[in-house]
Amino acid sequence: MHEMSLAGSILQLVEDAAARESFRHVAALRIEAGRLAGVETQALRFALDALAPGTCLEGATIDIAERAAIGRCAACEREVEIEQRALPCPLCGSFQVEATSGTELRVVDMLVEG
């Protein structure tokens, strides 16, 4: 389950920010995961909840939003929403669709205390 590794990286990012910005607790954490990021959002939430005790994330509200993936079709030169890689363009049927967004996993913002 690579989500545990991702959760560890997110926790490290948050703890680094806490040290740099001098806060002790995160009340709310908002994360976005693109549909093509290869992240199971429920597993990531579970992993973050498992790692949170004893850290600045303990008791934090964690919101993980899944974002649509957008691709650009080289054949019809249009942007289209895509569900997964290697599927044809829903508009023209071409397989020349390259993902332009939806591969990201990012911390959007944090509400911090003290």
- Give the whole-angstrom CA distance, residue 56 versus residue 41: 21
Render each residue's pLDDT in the chain as its tens digit; 114 residues: 599 999 999 999 999 999 999 999 999 999 999 999 999 999 999 999 999 999 999 999 999 999 999 999 999 999 999 999 999 999 999 999 999 999 999 999 999 998
- Give the whole-angstrom CA distance, residue 71 versus residue 90: 11
What pLDDT sits at residue 1?
57
What pLDDT sits at residue 21?
95
Domains and their CATH numbers in the chain? 2-68+102-113 (3.30.2320.50)
- Give the whole-angstrom CA distance, residue 10 versus residue 12: 5
